[in-house]
Amino acid sequence: MADSAQAQKLVYLVTGGCGFLGEHVVRMLLQREPRLRELRIFDLQLGPWLEELKTGPVQVIAIKGDVTQAHEVIAAVAGAHVVIHAAGLVDVFGRASPETIHKVNVQGTQNVIEACVQTGTQFLVYTSSMEVVGPNVKGHPFYRGNEDTPYEAVHRHPYPHSKALAEQLVLEANGRKVCGGLPLVTCALRPTGIYGEGHQIMRDIYYQGLRLGGRLFRAIPTSVEHGRVYVGNVAWMHVLVARELEQRAALMGGQVYFCYDKSPYKSYEDFNMEFLGPCGLRLVGTRPLLPYWLLMLLAVLNALLQWLLRPLVLYAPLLNPYTLAVANTTFTVSTNKAQRHFGYEPLFSWEDSRTRTIRWVQAMDGSAQ
């Protein structure tokens, strides 16, 4: 008992800890980080599920705050050993303005870095994205690439642009002296498309399928592969990186790691059917029902409608020119850098990840469409 009390000495802060990924990171830390004494969860919106965590041996502190407010970030970071910065505005549908996306994702990240420097927090893990690399606007495939694969990254959309700028800030901050004189150690994790329990887009697509009488209509050729990774494995990677950053600072500091696991390479739609199929949905067509040019026309019309309706109502459908381009361009990773640098192995097999995700979809209320 005395030993475990002594071992429990670390204070972690997870920004965005109430989001889809953040919740999994929080739960994973509580399950798999025995050195944890205090866990701070910082988010704009706090989830009611946090209450149940407050009764365990680790002190869980929920902080309602905004990463764009430097003073709030400093107060949350002060005294933390490790910061996992997962907060972000994930918007590729035109819900938020480019300025807001920049403010949250870039200025928010700068605030986190400065807070670490000012308060003497030495370890910072940033949740980046595959989108900092691509797909690019030219539709170049990134096929089974790794962290060193050359690729022409061109960002025209505010979300990937903001993630790329933020990642650069984090990597450049590696080695800066924090208060007390020690060096800041940073690294960035780049998940591909995350799936699993709590995934909002999967939920939306499921309800869309129910509304269409249990059918979805194929829009993307089966040959276009899209990288996906299970949320539990992404969370596990965050926990491992945070744990190993101190011991392996020279190796890991300033590095980027794609998040990967054993999820199969498939098109975005075929992959979703791994979960939606067993829940009663059917993907109609072995080929896209509409030609690409027509889909692009619809996507452009959606963008136009969004612009026209903006003064009256927010119109933000899944299909727009950017989402179509991403879904329609092969982007898959094949790497073992995380295994080589910090011993990462996926915690969940593909079968587990699939089963867990199916159970989650099955538990959704079919009438809540």
Ligand X SMILES: NC(=O)C1=CN([C@@H]2O[C@H](COP(=O)(O)OP(=O)(O)OC[C@H]3O[C@@H](n4cnc5c(N)ncnc54)[C@H](O)[C@@H]3O)[C@@H](O)[C@H]2O)C=CC1
Ligand Y SMILES: CC(C)CCC[C@@H](C)[C@H]1CC[C@H]2[C@@H]3[C@H](O)CC4=CC(=O)CC[C@]4(C)[C@H]3CC[C@]12C
- Applying CB under 6 A, the residues found at the interface with ligand X are 16, 18-22, 43-45, 66-68, 86-90, 104, 108, 127, 129, 163, 191, 193-194
Q: Out of 201, 234, 249, 281, point to the residue binding ligand Y (CB under 6 A).
A: 201
Tell me the sheet residues that pair with 84: 14, 125
Site string for ligand Y, 239-268 (x = CB under 6 A): -----------------------------x
As measured in angstroms, the least distance from the Cβ of 369 to ligand Y is 18
Using DSSP, how many helices (H) and how many strands (E) does the chain show? 15, 13
Contact call for residue 202 and ligand Y (CB under 6 A): no
Q: Out of 73, 240, 327, 333, point to the residue binding ligand Y (CB under 6 A).
A: 327
Tell me the sheet residues that pair with 283: 216
Contact call for residue 319 and ligand Y (CB under 6 A): yes
Question: Of 12, 126, 159, 260, which is the active-site residue?
Answer: 159
At residue 118, what are phi and psi to the nearest 5 degrees? -70, -35
Instruction: Tell me the residue nearest to ligand Y as measured from the CB.
Output: 193
Contact call for residue 129 and ligand Y (CB under 6 A): yes
Q: Out of 106, 324, 333, 347, point to the residue binding ligand Y (CB under 6 A).
A: 324
Contact call for residue 101 and ligand Y (CB under 6 A): no
Map residue 186 onto helix, strand or coil: strand
Contact partner at residue 326 from ligand Y, ligand X, none, CB < 5 to 8 Å by partner kind: ligand Y
Contact partner at residue 323 from ligand Y, ligand X, none, CB < 5 to 8 Å by partner kind: ligand Y
As measured in angstroms, the least distance from the Cβ of 280 to ligand X is 24
Which segments of 231-301 are extended strands (E)? 255-259, 282-284
At residue 268, what are phi and psi to the nearest 5 degrees? -55, -45
Q: Specify the DSSP element, H or E, that contains 286.
A: none
DSSP class of residue 318 equals S
CB-based burial label for 138 (10 Å; 0-12, 13-18, 19+): exposed
Contact window for ligand Y (CB under 6 A) among 44-52, 97-105, 126-134, 144-152: 126-134
As measured in angstroms, the least distance from the Cβ of 157 to ligand X is 13
Q: Out of 25, 26, 82, 92, point to the residue binding ligand Y (CB under 6 A).
A: 92
Closest to 286 measured CA to CA, from 299, 272, 270, 274:
270
8 Å CB contact between 28 and 238: yes
Strands 142-145 and 10-15: unpaired
Phi-psi region of 196 (alpha: psi -120 to 50; beta: other; left: phi over 0): left
Contact partner at residue 45 from ligand Y, ligand X, none, CB < 5 to 8 Å by partner kind: ligand X
As measured in angstroms, the least distance from the Cβ of 36 to ligand X is 21
8 Å CB contact between 87 and 42: yes
Contact call for residue 318 and ligand Y (CB under 6 A): yes
Active site (annotated) includes residue 344? no
8 Å CB contact between 235 and 28: yes
Q: Which is nearer to ligand X, 196 or 249 (CB)?
A: 196
Please state at what angle helix 158-173 crosses helix 108-119, rounded to 10 degrees: 20
Contact partner at residue 119 from ligand X, ligand Y, none, CB < 5 to 8 Å by partner kind: none
Q: Which is nearer to ligand Y, 18 or 326 (CB)?
A: 326
As measured in angstroms, the least distance from the Cβ of 86 to ligand Y is 11
The set of residues, in sequence order, having a beta carbon less than 8 Å from that of 150 and lying 6+ positions away, is none
- Contact residues toward ligand Y (CB under 6 A) are 90, 92, 129-131, 193, 201, 219-220, 268, 318-319, 323-324, 326-327
Any idea which residues carry the catalytic annotation? 159
